[in-house]
Amino acid sequence: MARAARRAAEAAITLALVTLVVFALASTLPAGDDEDEHERALPPPYRAAVRAQFHLDDPWHVRYVRWLGDLSRGDLGISLREKRPVAAILRERLPVSLALNALALAAIVLVALPLGIAGAWRPASRSDRALGLATTALYAVPVFWAALLLQWVFAVRLRWLPLFGFAGAAHLVLPVVCLTYGGLAYVSRFVRTSLVEGTTGEGGRVARARGVGPVRFLLFHGLPQSAIPLLTLAGFLVPRLVGGALLVEEIFGIPGLGSLMFQSVLARDLPVVLALTLLSGAVTLAAMTGADLVAAWVDPRSRRVA
Amino acid sequence: MWRDLSVLRTGVILCALVALAAVLAPWLPVDPNRVDLARVLEPPSLAHWMGTDGLGRDVLARLAYGARVSLTVGVGTAAIALLIGLPLGALAGYRGGWWDATVSRAVEAVLCFPALLLALALLSIAPGWLRPLPEALRLALALGLVAWTPTARYLRAEFRRLRGSEAVHAARAAGAGGWRIAVRHLLPQGVAPVLVTMAFGAAAASLAEASLSFIGVGVSPPTASWGQMLYEALRHMGQAWWLAAFPGAALFVTVYGFNRLAEGIRDWLDPRPLLR
């Protein structure tokens, strides 16, 4: 428990530093960069009044302390681009991103796990090499290219699936496919390697000598052995998905967090960028820390290392 | 010992192919930016081997110039990531303590951001004195500032492991100082796997450049970039297959080539054939 508390404290410090850096970097932008054309067209006194109301011209460290204070009261501020509370925007977009990413994560695991096991079945055999070749080739296919191809085939030509936008489960099929295929190489190779490592040791040889069949052997001797590498992998996969959805969301017109972050960075919408940084940072650190803690719980040996 | 070099060979050949295109680009008889509105959207022919785009520009010439951008960003990013990640990771692993805590927090901090968006944000706040640099180099710089974490993490773990090894004790007993041990005894052991991470990093960076250019925030027109060519192909989807097919294939060859190169080096170094 003490360990968990220490990791949580470290994560909080990291997040505080990250947001501080965002503030410091944003302060180097040219003045007025955070305004749109309507605001620039305002008569100077009005413009100054708006800027004063939102404290836009205070020194950045003053604004940071104020932001931290607001945050402690659960107030994420108001979006400069959409002129409404950041929390309301997140409430709309978060469920969409969650659905998309959860489905993609599930799809990656469901497809990559059997592929990895198939590869570990006979390591270095022809089928194992073919699997490695095929998944690496898939990784090299740019996601936006695949997205366009899939759109053209399934939405324009065959008209089986919707082309664009978000209004139900059918709209998520192609985006999930796009988010899935690239991760297969990494995850299935990882599963395979840890399985082979787990089964080629002495424990594996003893089990084989005792007459354990190949299927039972891989599933009940190999998989538990590779549980820890797989856990750390899951810790890394989550943050990848958070950012990886950006292109897919933009191409398929899905109102998720990836495209929100993209548009907010372009528009210098600092409150939204900060909220999303906090969110993605918290998710990332929680996934990494969680994987560490579970690994320590599953395998006492790894406690000493960290 | 017998070693299968076919993966490494594939990687080297594909990367050499792209490099050749990049080097030969200026010698092509066609200007990649010459607009010819009389020859718009022509399919591949003897005059234009890969056809022409929506402005009548030669796709092959643009593809070759795109290779320069892709390789500059790929290799440049990997080099910058190495320059940052190697010293930081080595220090964190070798010195431990305060160094380790600082570097580990920094790695975590970078991982908090989605990588592409962090690079984009860094690009938009680039200080003025970087403006004279070619765009591809600025992109490589931004991506490199994001991509150093795997190298640092790897070297940290490696130096940590080797710090207590007998070889290091022996070197210390022989009177070698801390620097000498780190540079002469530890670094050579970590170099080869770092090459592998560099090649993987180059693949990822080429993809990232294409992605950024595709959404319009990478290399700006008229400079040819594969990502941007693919974006322009969008307008002619279904009527000019060559506009999407060739840049897509070029990008595929580059990313696949770098990945195979990385895997090839790794296999070549790893004596355990089953674990490949």
List the pLDDT tens digit at each of the 306 positions of chain A: 677 788 888 888 888 888 888 888 777 776 666 677 777 777 777 777 877 777 777 777 888 888 888 888 888 888 878 888 888 888 888 888 888 888 888 888 888 888 888 887 777 778 888 888 888 888 888 888 888 888 888 877 787 777 777 777 778 888 888 888 877 887 887 888 777 776 666 767 777 777 777 677 777 766 776 676 676 676 666 666 666 678 888 888 888 888 888 888 888 888 888 888 888 888 888 887 777 777 777 766 655 544
Instruction: Name which of A254, A234, A276 is nearest A100 in CA terms.
Output: A254
Q: Do B238 and A152 touch (CB under 8 A)?
A: yes
Average pLDDT over residues B220-236: 82
Residue A25, Cβ density class (10 Å: 0-12 exposed, 13-18 middle, ≥19 buried): middle
Query: What is the per-residue pLDDT for A305?
Result: 47
A162 min Cα distance to partner chain B (Å) = 17
A148, A200, A264: best to mutate for the B interface, most B CBs within 10 A: A148
Q: What angle do CA A41, A45, A47 make, to 5 degrees?
A: 45
How many Å apart are CA B136 and CA A189, to the nearest integer? 32
pLDDT-wise least confident of A202-206, B137-141, B236-240? A202-206
Is 80 exceeded by the pLDDT of residue B208? yes
Reported as type and span, the H/E element at residue A266 is helix A257-266
Tell me if residue A213 falls in helix, strand or coil: coil
Count of CB atoms situated within 10 Å of the CB of B62: 28
Give the residue on B whose Cα is nearest the Cα of A265. B121
Q: Do B244 and A148 touch (CB under 8 A)?
A: yes
B158 min Cα distance to partner chain A (Å) = 13
Select the residue of A17, A142, A149 nearest B105 (Cβ to Cβ).
A17
Tell me which CATH code domain A95-304 carries: 1.10.3720.10
Residues of B in contact with A119 (CB under 8 A): none
Amino acid sitting at position A81 = R
Highest mean pLDDT among A68-72, B131-135, B202-206: B202-206
Tell me if residue A85 falls in helix, strand or coil: strand
Q: Do A247 and B211 touch (CB under 8 A)?
A: yes
Query: pLDDT tens digits for B96-119?
Result: 788 888 888 888 888 888 888 888
A223 min Cα distance to partner chain B (Å) = 16
Instruction: Name which of A74, A91, A33 is nearest A255 in CA terms.
Output: A91
Query: What is the per-residue pLDDT for B79?
Result: 93
Is 70 exceeded by the pLDDT of residue B77? yes
Q: Do B121 and A13 touch (CB under 8 A)?
A: no
Give the residue on A whose Cα is nearest the Cα of B230. A145
Q: Which residue has the higher pLDDT, A281 or B176?
A: A281
Q: Do A284 and B111 touch (CB under 8 A)?
A: yes
Tell me if residue A230 falls in helix, strand or coil: helix
Report CA dihedral (A273, A275, A281, A284) to the nearest 10 degrees: -110
Query: What is the per-residue pLDDT for B83?
Result: 92
Question: Residues B257, B18: contact at Cβ < 8 Å?
Answer: yes
Average pLDDT over residues B81-87: 91
A10, A13, A14, A284: best to mutate for the B interface, most B CBs within 10 A: A14
Ranges for all domains in chain A classified under CATH 1.10.3720.10 = 95-304
Structural tokens at position A69: 């204070």
Question: Residues A130, A209: contact at Cβ < 8 Å?
Answer: no
Give the residue on A whose Cα is nearest the Cα of B259. A136
Residues of A in contact with B217 (CB under 8 A): 266
Q: Which of residues 7-46 of A touch B (CB under 8 A)?
A: 10-11, 13-15, 17-18, 21, 25-26, 28-29
Highest mean pLDDT among B176-180, B228-232, B265-269: B228-232
How many Å apart are CA B104 and CA A74, to the nearest integer? 29
Q: Do B211 and A143 touch (CB under 8 A)?
A: yes
Query: What is the per-residue pLDDT for B188?
Result: 75
Residues of A in contact with B244 (CB under 8 A): 145, 148-149
Query: What is the per-residue pLDDT for A259?
Result: 85
How many Å apart are CA A275 and CA A269, to the nearest integer? 10
Residues of B in contact with A261 (CB under 8 A): 114, 117
Q: Do B112 and A143 touch (CB under 8 A)?
A: no
Select the residue of A132, A250, A261 nearest B215 (Cβ to Cβ).
A250
B256 min Cα distance to partner chain A (Å) = 5
Give the residue on B whose Cα is nearest the Cα of A143. B211
Residues of A in contact with B117 (CB under 8 A): 243, 246, 261-262, 265
Give the residue on A whose Cα is nearest the Cα of B258. A140
For chain B, the DSSP string reads -----HHHHHHHHHHHHHHHHHHHGGGSSS-TT---TTSTTPPS-SSSTT-B-TTS-BHHHHHHHHHHHHHHHHHHHHHHHHHHHHHHHHHHHHH-HHHHHHHHHHHHHHHTS-HHHHHHHHHHT--GGGTTS-HHHHHHHHHHHHHTHHHHHHHHHHHHHHHTSHHHHHHHHTT--HHHIIIIIIHHHHHHHHHHHHHHHHHHHHHHHHHHHHTTSSSPTTS--HHHHHHHHGGGTTT-HHHHHHHHHHHHHHHHHHHHHHHHHHHHH---GGG-
| Cα A101–chain centre separation | 8
Is 60 exceeded by the pLDDT of residue B274? no
Q: Which of residues 140-199 of B touch A (CB under 8 A)?
A: none
Q: Which of residues 232-271 of A touch B (CB under 8 A)?
A: 239, 242-244, 246-247, 250, 258, 261-262, 265-266, 268
Query: pLDDT tens digits for B50-75?
Result: 777 767 677 788 888 888 889 999 99
Query: What is the per-residue pLDDT for A109?
Result: 82
Q: Is the CB of A85 inside 8 Å of chain B's CB atoms?
A: no
Question: Residues A296, A302: contact at Cβ < 8 Å?
Answer: yes
